[in-house]
Each structure stands twice: as C-alpha cells, then as structure tokens.
Structure 1
C-alpha cells in the first residue's frame, strides 16, 4: 500500500463557505493529516478560495434569514448532487455542518456505493429546532430522519448536549466536544508574554465585539452605552454582520458616536492584532436569548482569552459560567446601558490590571487547538471507518517506508 493511500479523505459539506469557522475546521483537519474536499453553499466570498490543496465545490447560493430560500437551495442541491460531486474522489468520512447539509449526506453516501460514516457537526442550535409548534416538530423530525445515518455528533458546548441533544433532539449519537478554540499550528504563536495595555491618560477604554455580528440587542445597547460614556469608552466592531438582523447596520454604526466598524478579518492570522487593540471583549449574545445564546461558548471567548482581552459576560449563560468559574472577567446578572455605564464609570487601571492578570494566568491549552488536538480529531474520524488507519499508523508506515 502506498503512503498516499493511507490519508484520510474527508468530504466536508459546508453550510456557508464564507464562514471563517469553516476555514478553521478545514485547516484543523489538514493539520491532523487528512485530505479535505469542501462542497458548500455560498453566501459571500469563499474563505477557502486561496487555500492550497483544498478543492471546493459550490452547492448553490443561500441567504441569511431566508429560511424558505435555503430549503429550496438544499432541495436543488440534492437533485444535482451526483453531477456536482462527479469529479471528486470517494471520501472515507463525510462531515455535514448543520442540518441543511446533513440533508445531503445520505445522498452523497449512496453516490459512492460505500458505507461511508457520516459525522453531524452542529455548533449552533437554530431557533426553529427549538420551536414548540408545528415548524419545530417538523424540523426535529427532519433532523432525526437525516441523522439516522450519522455515526458521531460534533458540537462545541456541553450546554448544547444537556439542553437539546440529549433531551429533545431524538438523536442517539456519541458526542465529540470540540470547543471554539483558536487554531494554533505553530509551537508558540504568542512569541512574548502579553502585557496589560491600559489606555494612555485621557484615552478611552476599548471594547471589542468581533466575529459573527448578529445580535441587534447588543448593538443597540453598546451604541447607547458608548453615547452615555461620551468618549470614555469606544466600541470596536469587526467581522461579518448578519445584515438581515438589522434595519441598516452600516448607517446605524456610521451615525453612532464612539463606535467603529472595521469589517472582516482573517482568523487566526489577524487575531493578535485586533485583540491587542482593545482591553475588553464583548462575550454576550442575545440573538436567541434563553436558548442558543444562553448555551453557546463563542469564538470570541477563546480568542480574547488567548490575546488578553478581558471578557464581559452575562450570568446564567454557559459563557457566564465559564468566565465566573475561572474568575477571569466581568460577569453581570443584568446588562443594560445603565449598568455598563456604572461598571466603566468606576473602572481604574488597577482594576483592569487585576482582571488582566487573572486572565493571563490561565493555561494556554484552555484557549488553543494545537497540532496534537488536530491529529486526535483525525484519529477519531478514522476510527469510524474500519479500513482507514489512524495518523499514528500512517506515521509508522511512513517510518518503515523511509
């Protein structure tokens, strides 16, 4: 057997090829020793377009906030899937990100005439899956139906398992918890210890809200708060706004005093610079308040932790419990423009340095996914397929052949 034949071949069905989290997962799989082909829906610029050795195939266009359109796009993709995937190599494992691509996974398996294991990756619980009416019941039935072929569930927060997958999903799958940690493939991406960075005298505190910007309540609250502080606090926004969730995001932000929006960034390449530009990280999400927003552990929690941005979190949420348990940030029972004004009206350099020091004392492994974790993931996936060796076995064959 040639060494090339031992590589785990992954077909990744992606819900949105403009999502930076898709790129991070693909890079994780590659770093673990897998070969990856991505077939995904498009909602913007393909973040994998410049990645070497990653073949991408478009499944069609979808749009944020247009559920009916997305169902139509999935049905259309299913009808033409045999033609769409005609030129790709038969995979050893298929990973389906979110329910819309899980609906395609069984069809993809049947195309290759093999018992290919399917992995269901779900890092957000859509509000329709939690609906108590007919729509919610139909969504959960669809998830159970399409999930019947799955061999493994990947999710990012234990609260998703406790609050949805175990009691309500109807799925009975082994669970692999992969937190939204920063992908760090170099031995020491942070070359020097990060030092506290209080603002210079007369300069404002800066709070960063980075990543998927989809929470209208957070935006309104931060704009109001910044106006109340009258230049003593600045809000810095970076990432991809979900424009469907706002009346006019660009105009609203442009008109807001002491609020900046700097667009998209590359993850993980730009993280050190953008988090180094702020003292605090907004880790609160009201987008699906009491449901998904209460259960998630967001990317910005880990990114800010690695690069020294003190998290601001809401008590009673999984993020709040994570922060409070470690004593590493500002956790508040109630968050309003008024409570934020009171909190930062009393913020001092000494208080900030104490918060920063607690954050800096956390072990680096809490925040990062390194090469060993990448290999462990690929090994777990390879174990689903009896004919594919683990990366350790691949390494042993490589040693013998050399």
Structure 2
C-alpha cells in the first residue's frame, strides 16, 4: 500500500518520524514537502515543493493554488492508496491533487495544532473555518495528538467530526537508552549543594514562557538554573540566545536531535516546563491551541525522569494530574511557579520522580499500535 504524504517541512524531525512510523508499519511512502532551508537529501522518497517560512501561514496558502498544477504530471500519485496531509494548508493541497488524479483514495487529515486564526471571530477566521469544514466533509480520517483538539475545537466549533484517531506525540522506540530506574536517584549530598535545574525544550517561540523563566532564574531566593534547548524561530524570540547569555542562571544550549540529544537535554534536569502560550489570548492559555496540546517535551522529559510542571485546566495539566507524575499550577503562573519552586525541596522532587519513573513505558514511548489501528479503519 502506498501513502502520498503531504508535509509542511521536509527537515522537520516530526515529519521524518511520521514517515518512518508509516514505513515501519509496512507502507510505502512518497513524500511531497516544502522546506525552510536549501534542498538536501532526505531519508525518504520526496518531491520538493519549494521554500516556506516560519509563521507564514497565509503565505503558504498561495501554494495551494500553485502546487496541484505542479504535481498534475506526477504519475505515481495516480497509484497512491491513501493521501495523508499534515495540517490545514497541506490538506487543501492534498485534496485538490487527490480529486484530480485519484478521487477514490481516502484522505487523512493530521491536525498537528489549531492555528490562532481558526479560533477567532474575525472575517478571516470565519472564512478559514468554513473552508476547513468543507475539507472535513471529504476527509475519511482525522488524526489528532490530543483529545482536546476534538472535544474543544472540532466538536464545539466545527460541529462535525469525521472518524478520528488519537496518536500522541510519544517517543519513537528506536535508539532510546534504558529509562533511569526509579530507585536510583542522584546522591542526596551532592544535590543539596547544587541548584535545581529546570528545562525548557523544543520549538522556542513562546515569549511569555521565556519571560517567566527569566524571572524565576534571576529572582531570589530560589536556587535554580534554567536550561533552554531547541531551535529559535525566524519570526519570534530571534534574540533569545543573546538574552539568555546575558541572564544569570540561564543557559541556551541550542538544537538537539535524536535519542542521544534527548539524554543530554533531560539527563540532568529536575523539572521540565511543559506549557506554552504561543497561541493564547492575553491572560492565559484558555480556549486555544496552547491549552489543548500535549507537547513532545511532556513525553521526552517523562521518559528520562524530568518531572513535568504543567498548568491547570489544560490538556497537559490534566495528563500530569491523571498519571500523578508531576506538579500542576494555577494561573497566573507568574505567581504560582515562583511559589511552587520556593516551596520545593530535592526530597519533594525525588518522591515525584519515583512515581514518574514507575509509570509504564507505554505512557511515553510509541509502539505504532495506534497508527496501525488508525490505518486499518481506512485501508483499501
């Protein structure tokens, strides 16, 4: 069976992980992707759709008009059994191509997140939701990484949900080192002489999180060091590295990749900051993508024993509370996070870390079962 896979960025590790997972499940994948950098060899069959840019959602919409015309002569699209698209703009491209060359093939919509424009009552927001609603009528299967995307957005705002499946952002199993043992903790006498270490990792675009972490790093009396790992954006926090370098008790380490990179990110961390406010409205993360998502760092940190700190009334907060694997704080976090850190001891964190590391491996690591089950729903 062949999957025609439409993705926003060829170099995105998440794109590469999804293609690898489909391949592990026995499907042949032909990828059609944009890129944010110069063309490179990819570890999968790929048709380059051209350059795209961070934060340029509207810019990418123009490609919807151009790309189907560019692809009309690609003969292998006519043999595709399934058309798989990541996010709304790629769904529109995949649907136009599918209807032209292989109208009987089912369409899969993997909704990675909900863009802020889709949650507004502006004319643009209403138009985009109407457009998405039309595409949903032709969608055979909706894939989400958090159940809140369905309950809080698709059911409440779109009113109609096609058959859907949950595939969380859990870690791929290949190359992972063994998890730390819950009873093997860092020597207490050494820990009491060092500050707590809190990690913020991933796509570094949330200005409110960065300001919050700078505040706790520089405000006494909490002995704390903030470690920041990941890639900065071209449209937000472009000077993060310079600001972090000038901030006491804060270190920006840059990008990381693969299981070895994750070990470096989380191996010495006590805590991981889970939430962001990128798509939130002023005053909190309510009713937006920021509240609905279950981000990668929740699973990454959990696997390696970094205790999550999450915000109440969000999907991440509910996940942490349900599994009893971390700390959940209330808004405003500018007050509640310093209060939590000021009250925590290494013994408190060790107790929570034992519970975290005693949680089943399957909470944090994928075994492709959800993907196989999802594909069985629509396989020809």
TM-score, normalised by the number of residues in structure 1: 0.85
> Equivalents in 2 of 1:69, 1:229: separation in Å?
45
- The answer to whether structure 1 residue 142 and structure 2 residue 117 are counterparts is no
Structure 1 residues 171, 38: CA separation in 2 closer, same or farther (over 3 Å shift)? Answer: farther
- Per-residue deviation, 1:44: 3.6
Q: 1:122-171: CA deviations, max 9, x gaps?
A: 02111111111211111011112233321000001111111111121244
Q: How does 1:154-173 map to 2 (within 5 A)?
A: 154-173=143-162
Tell me if structure 1 keeps the 8 A contact 2:330–2:336: no
Query: 1: CA distance between counterparts of 2:154 and 2:71?
Result: 28
* Distance in 1 (alpha carbons) for counterparts of 2:28 and 2:19: 9
2:168, 2:84 → 1: CA distance? 17
Residue 17 of structure 1 contacts residue 44 of structure 1 at CA under 8 Å; is this kept in 2? Answer: no
Give the structure 1 partner of residue 122 of structure 2: 133
Distance change (3 Å), C-alpha of 1:262 and 1:73: farther
Which moves more between the two structures, 334-343 or 169-178? 334-343
Where does residue 207 of structure 1 map in the other structure?
Answer: 198
- Write out per-residue CA displacement over residues 286-345 of structure 1, whole angstroms, 9 at most, x where no aligned residue: 112221111111111111111101001111111111111222111111354454333223
Q: How far is 1:114 from its partner?
A: 5.0
The equivalent residue for 2:374 is: 380
Distance in 2 of aligned mates of 1:305 and 1:45: 34
For residue 275 of structure 1, the aligned residue among 242, 266, 273 is 266
Contact 1:140 1:170 in 2 (8 A): no
CA distance in 1, matches of 2:161, 2:322: 30
My pick for the range that moved more, 175-184 or 72-81, is: 72-81
| Residue 271 (structure 2) pairs with residue 285 (structure 1) | no
Aligned residues, how many?
371
SS in 1 for 2:156: coil
Gaps of at least 5 residues in structure 1 are: 1-7, 387-402
* 1:67 counterpart residue number: 57
The reply on whether 1:181 has 2:174 as its aligned counterpart is no
Q: Secondary structure at the match of 1:243?
A: coil
1:11 aligned counterpart, secondary structure: strand
Counterpart in the other structure of 2:8: 15
**Aligned position for 1:390:** none
**CA 1:361–1:157 in structure 2 vs 1: closer, same or farther (change >3 Å)?**
same
* Unpaired runs of at least 5, structure 2: 280-284
CA pair 171-69 structure 1, distance change in 2 beyond 3 A: same
Per-residue deviation, residues 222-255 of structure 1 (Å, max 9, x unmatched):
0111011478211111112223123632322222
Of residues 185, 190, 195, the one that matches 2:178 is 190
Give the C-alpha shift of residue 88 in structure 1. Answer: 6.0
* 2:309 alignment partner, SS class: strand
Alpha-carbon distance in 2 for matches of 1:358, 1:45: 45
Determine the structure 2 residue equivalent to 1:398: none
Tell me, in whole angstroms, the C-alpha distance in 2 between the residues paired with 1:269 and 1:36.
27
- Give the match for residue 355 of structure 2: 358
Looking at both structures, which has the greater relative contact order when contacts are Cα pairs under 8 Å and sequence separation is at least 6? 1
- SS of structure 2 residue aligned to 1:365: helix
Q: 2:116, 2:289 within 8 Å by CA — same for their partners in 1?
A: yes
Cα distance in 2 for partners of 1:272, 1:72 equals 40
The aligned residue for residue 318 of structure 2 is 321
**1:240 and 1:91 mapped to 2: Cα distance?**
34
Partner in structure 1 of residue 28 of structure 2: 35
CA RMSD of aligned residues (A): 2.4
1:381 offset after TM fit, Å? Answer: 1.9
3-state secondary structure, aligned to 2:191: coil
